[in-house]
Structure 1
């Protein structure tokens, strides 16, 4: 699974978890807030209820005291004074409780002080009227005035108590309104929070579902990749291993066991067990490499041998690179390959190179023989023929003279053939270094070597200016020489040869019959003549060694010249093509890579 996918999934789930936790905390806070508001509202209702009860008790006590006072005044019965004396204590106690309940309310505290003053005044008036009544002064103006004053004081006490009750009622109403508003908002807020939570949970579910689907696909892909890797290890004869740096433990792939000739996971993957398979002559070297690996946490390419239990010796090549993950955990990922076949192939190639070197020496010996030993008898034959022709020509019959001419022609052809073979063998070697060369000068040099035949045939040769190239100068000169000689040789009778040499650049994609090229573009040199031409069906055959399209009696030649041209172009990683039209002319196109 890609690391980016895992990281993004973990980050997303952490964000979702954080949001969910936040929502839960918000919901808990809101619930706590509304429960607290509700508790506060209940406490306030209870508080108001207690205050009202006390106020009602006080009103009841005042009414009983007032009734007892009147009954006593009318009947002079002292039993009417008992409620007055009892309710007086009750009134004082209730007043003290009321003062305690409303201690956080400055306005009610003020009302209580006023109420206490009024009650005390009312009691004082009550004592005065009671004294006057005891003295039988109920008809005196003083008693009447005191009695009226008592009623007014009692009314003011009642009014104050009603005022205090009304104040408590207002407080209760405001508190209820506030609580009602909060409690009305609570379901809406909780509803929205629940909806948001459900959306978050739905989003989380969708993401987890998608992640699990992707994870399943990745796991299937990993499983496929694992099987493919296993097959690749088997086919390519290599095995993988991991060294966990901090823990100093190893992991071996199944195919690494197979490379050692063992069953997968047949022994514990550790260094000691592995070294038991290493060739005794390579143990010290490999151990030193392992120590350097542990010290440098790196393993460059190393080579060593192992011996399987069946006695077969295998050549191994190993390489490892350090990998550090996002947590800083270090692992050395290694690959060990069986290169026994490569070693054997290398030895075979070395053997073949030695054979090729011997063949080259033999070819060099042949070139020497061809250039010296074979040409020496030809020179003697030509010398004796010349002497025979000079001294015995008149004594020879016509048939004898014809035979001499045929021998001279054959020896000339033999010399040309040997020279061309030597030229082809030298052209077959491409050890000469490439050099920046003026192609125009090489072309002029080739024309200069052909000046005599050009003059004899009154040929006209025109050429474009050709840029400098990195070539083997001698071979390119030989290329021009052979192509120009070919056009001059195969010219039409009684028609002066006209040879046109043009230059252009060609993209690699436009090369004929070439599917792939490592070069981008090519120098293109075209040599066109007005000679006898050829059928296009022979366009490939004319480059084959010793292949001739015309009888040797019609046109001289050995059939090697165009083969030399092809070999020169191939030595330069180029291509040559031919296009012919009978009795109209031939066109040779040379493509040399631009480097």
Structure 2
């Protein structure tokens, strides 16, 4: 049965049960009301009886007990004597109603107080003797008795109204739920008829799709022995299977899994398909198959269908051929890059010697003829030597940059020792700039020590070069471990991995924040090229080091207000990760404020 139809019948059944429950509750209320009516009538009858006996007490007088009418007054005396019992009976009956109970307690006390007087004098004698206070008490008692009777009548009227209201609601809900249930049944029946017709149309439509799709589709039924799957049998195959497997459908339908061609008999195939049927909802494999003279690659997806599976065959032969071509192109590109790196290294190394000779001979020439030169010529010689020095620095930086990819010796690295070594190397320049360096306790991470040294060296050297002339340089290094929430903010970091965040900040000249990406490019420099010594490779080298460690680097700064470089590095590296990462170290970082 269709789920919607089943749900409709369930709703109808629930409504019918609701009708039965409502009617049952109405019956219970009716029975409860009948009980209260009987109780109210008993209470009113007892109140009436109490009232009559109390009136008899008002008629009796002991002054008439010896007269001829003694027998007549003895009747009233007997009723007067039963007042006490009537009070006790009423108190017991109305005990369930606090208001009536309080009223009866009051009546009982007042009657107990007035009865000794009534046993001596009747109402006429009380009036004649002008005992008005006692007369008021008698009237008050009678009023309380009347109020008790009226209270019970009002209570019965209210309960009758509640019963009428409940009965009307029961009728309305019974009728409403019955109509809804009937409508649901009718709608469900009509829907089932419509669905059956649509299902027949969809079956034909699905059949046409299956027979026109280029992808092959098969359904397998599990063959079990003692509850364990031992094989699979093909129940259905579309026309595309004929073309893909180069076999006729009559030959395919009914074929067992172990009867497939050897090329399709992958190791563990039965177990993988069985796991889909037994619990795992989906699975997929890639399989090569020889159809005629052609070799085809298929991507086969398995999905559970009752006690079996549906297998969809996607021909990925073209994709596989492209993959092989791509792998070959990547191999060639890597080989070409390696040759280019070797060439850059060799060329840079070989350029050092002629450049050294140029500097040497220019210096000698300057020494020999310096007495004959004017100021302009001395200036030109200085510019030649400075340019040669800058060229030498540029070549050394290129050698460092091209050599980064060849060093992959990841090991435990104490960043505190790295920082101390860099400070020692630049001690003279630090003293010249009167720089103050503040550093947190840095962690130990898995990294390439030499590259960490280059990273710290270039960041400190960059801060020293761009220090302000009007104040001492303050260079601060801090570190913190990133929380999982912080890691998710960065697109290029892997959740589940530990990262350390390093901040290198200074109070130097800073730069326009619009250049925060530009500064990491090769040979990119900001400011006066002549006044600031450098090659424009330092920050590019920093980015390369961070990329090699699968981290990210970015900077925030303001002109004349210092700069801060943020570096995020993994705490650990596995052996298989000791290769140059593919992700860029400066992609998409959240905006941070200094």
TM-score by length of 1: 0.54
Alignment partners' CA distance in 1, 2:420 and 2:370: 43
Q: 2:324 — aligned with what?
A: 347
Q: What do you get for the CA RMSD once the two structures are aligned?
A: 5.1
Q: Note if 1:252 corresponds to 2:237.
A: yes
Q: How far has the Cα of 1:459 moved from its partner? A: 0.8
Q: 1:58 — aligned with what?
A: none
Q: Note if 1:460 corresponds to 2:436.
A: yes
Range with greater deviation from structure 2 (534-543 or 384-393)? 384-393
Q: How far has the Cα of 1:382 moved from its partner? A: 2.0
Q: Select which of 243, 250, 259 maps to 1:268.
A: 250
CA contact (8 A) 2:218 2:238 kept: yes
**Aligned residue runs from structure 1 range 156-235, under 5 A:** none
CA contact (8 A) 1:536 1:580 kept: yes
Q: 1:156 — aligned with what?
A: none
Q: Note if 1:477 corresponds to 2:453.
A: yes
Structure 1 gaps, min length 5: 17-198, 276-282, 326-330
Q: Note if 1:314 corresponds to 2:267.
A: no
Q: Residue by residue, what CA displacement relative to the aligned partner does 1:492-540 show, whole Å, maximum 9, x if unpaired?
A: 1142211111223444655798457433674221111111111222222
Alignment partners' CA distance in 2, 1:295 and 1:561: 54
CA contact (8 A) 2:413 2:444 kept: yes
Alignment partners' CA distance in 2, 1:232 and 1:481: 66
Q: 1:284 to 1:418 in 2, by over 3 A?
A: same
Q: 1:223 to 1:403 in 2, by over 3 A?
A: farther
CA contact (8 A) 1:250 1:269 kept: no
Alignment partners' CA distance in 2, 1:360 and 1:505: 36
Q: Residue by residue, what CA displacement relative to the aligned partner does 1:26-61 show, whole Å, maximum 9, x if unpaired?
A: xxxxxxxxxxxxxxxxxxxxxxxxxxxxxxxxxxxx
Q: 1:272 to 1:304 in 2, by over 3 A?
A: farther
CA contact (8 A) 1:370 1:422 kept: no
Q: 2:338 — aligned with what?
A: 361
Alignment partners' CA distance in 2, 1:562 and 1:412: 20
Range with greater deviation from structure 2 (548-557 or 395-404)? 395-404
Q: 1:243 to 1:488 in 2, by over 3 A?
A: same
Larger Rg: 1
Alignment partners' CA distance in 2, 1:214 and 1:469: 67
Q: 1:448 — aligned with what?
A: 424
Q: Residue by residue, what CA displacement relative to the aligned partner does 1:191-211 show, whole Å, maximum 9, x if unpaired?
A: xxxxxxxx99x9899689769
Structure 2 gaps, min length 5: 15-176, 224-231, 276-282, 573-594
Q: How far has the Cα of 1:546 moved from its partner? A: 1.4
Q: 1:511 to 1:217 in 2, by over 3 A?
A: farther
Alignment partners' CA distance in 2, 1:228 and 1:573: 49
Alignment partners' CA distance in 2, 1:480 and 1:231: 64
Alignment partners' CA distance in 1, 2:474 and 2:189: 78
Q: Residue by residue, what CA displacement relative to the aligned partner does 1:334-369 show, whole Å, maximum 9, x if unpaired?
A: 343322133122222222123213312322332332
SS in 1 for 2:511: coil
Alignment partners' CA distance in 1, 2:201 and 2:548: 50
CA contact (8 A) 1:239 1:253 kept: yes
Q: 1:525 — aligned with what?
A: 502
Q: 1:239 to 1:306 in 2, by over 3 A?
A: same
Q: 1:221 to 1:492 in 2, by over 3 A?
A: farther
Number of matched pairs: 393
Alignment partners' CA distance in 2, 1:421 and 1:556: 16
**Aligned residue runs from structure 1 range 571-586, under 5 A:** 571-586=548-563
Alignment partners' CA distance in 1, 2:428 and 2:553: 27
Q: Select which of 287, 296, 309 maps to 1:303.
A: 287
